[in-house]
Structure 1
Amino acid sequence: MFKTFIISALLATFTLPLLLQYTNAAEQTNVPATLAKPVSDQIALDADFLKEKINSSIGLTVVKVEETALPGIALLVTNQGLFYASYDGEFFIQGKVYNLGSTVKDIGEESLAKVRLEGLKSFEDNMIVYKAENEKYVVSVFTDITCGYCRKMHEKMADYNARGITFRYLAYPRAGIKDQNGNLTQGFKDLRSVWCSEDNATALTKAKSGTGIAYRICEAPIEAQFKFGRQIGVSGTPAIILSNGMMVPGYQPPEQLEELLKNT
Structure 2
Amino acid sequence: MLKKLIAVVVTSFVLLTLPSQAVENNEAKIKASLGKLGLEVESIAPSKMDNLYEAFTNQGMFYTSADGKFLIQGKVYEISADGISSLTEESLAKVRIEGMEKFEGSMIVFPAKDEKYQMTVFTDLTCGYCRKLHNQMGSYNDLGITVRYLAYPRGGLQSQSFSDIRSVWCSDDQQRAMTNAKGGSQVEQKVCSLPVADQYDFGKKIGVSGTPAIMLDDGMMLPGYKTPEQMQQIFQSYSVKKSG
* 1:89 aligns to 2:68 (yes or no): yes
1:187 to 161, 175, 186: 161
Q: Is 1:174 the counterpart of 2:148 in the alignment?
A: no
Q: Give unmatched runs, 5+ long, in structure 2.
A: 1-18, 239-244
Q: Partner residue of 2:14?
A: none
- Percent identity over the alignment is 49
- Which position in structure 2 is the counterpart of 1:144? 124
Matched residue type, 1:81: G
Per-residue deviation, residues 101-158 of structure 1 (Å, max 9, x unmatched): 1211101111111111111111111110000000011111100000111001111100
Please name the residue that 1:70 is paired with: 49
Aligned counterparts of 1:122 and 1:110: Cα–Cα separation in 2 = 19
Q: What is aligned with 2:134?
A: 154
- In the TM superposition, what whole-angstrom CA distance separates every residue of 1:136-184 from its partner, at most 9, and x where no partner exists? 1111110000011100111110000011110110101101002xxxxxx
CA contact (8 A) 1:151 1:209 kept: yes
Match of 1:109 in 2: 89
Which of 221, 224, 228 is residue 254 of structure 1 equivalent to?
228
Q: Which amino acid aligns with 1:220?
A: L
Gaps of 5+ in 1: 1-40, 179-184
Task: Identify the match of residue 98 of structure 1 among 61, 68, 77.
Answer: 77
What's the TM-score once normalised by structure 2's chain length?
A: 0.85
Is the counterpart of residue 204 in structure 1 residue 178 in structure 2? yes
**May I ask how many residue pairs the two structures share in their alignment?**
216
> TM-score, structure 1 length as denominator?
0.79
Letter in 2 for 1:176: G
The structure carrying a bigger helix percent of its residues is 2
Supply the AA of the counterpart residue of 1:241.
M
Paired AA for residue 111 in structure 1 = S
Could you tell me how far apart the structure 1 residues matched to 2:131 and 2:27 are? 42
CA contact (8 A) 1:116 1:232 kept: yes
Is the 1:44–1:87 Cα contact (8 Å) retained in structure 2? no
Deviation at residue 52 of structure 1 after TM alignment: 2.4
1:216-235 superposed matches below 5 A? 216-235=190-209
Structure 2 residue matching 1:139: 3-state secondary structure: strand
- Cα deviation, residue 219, structure 1: 1.5
Amino acid at match of 1:146: T
How far did residue 44 of structure 1 move? 4.1
For residues 8-44 of structure 1, what are the alpha-carbon distances to aligned partners after superposition, in whole Å with 9 as ceiling and x for unaligned? xxxxxxxxxxxxxxxxxxxxxxxxxxxxxxxxx9x94
Distance 1:251 1:114 in 2: 23
Rounded to whole Å, the distance in 2 between the matches of 1:256 and 1:146 is 23
Q: Which residue of 2 aligns with 1:120?
A: 100
1:25 matched residue in structure 2: none
Shift of 1:206: 0.6
Q: Cα distance, 1:217 vs. partner?
A: 1.6
* Alignment RMSD: 1.5
Aligned partner of 2:116: which letter? K
Structure 1 CA distance, aligned partners of 2:48 and 2:148? 35
Contact 1:64 1:77 in 2 (8 A): yes
- Of the three residues 24, 27, 35, the one matched with 1:47 is 27
Instruction: Report the Cα offset of residue 77 of structure 1.
Output: 1.3
Letter in 2 for 1:251: Y
**SS, match of residue 240 in structure 1:** strand
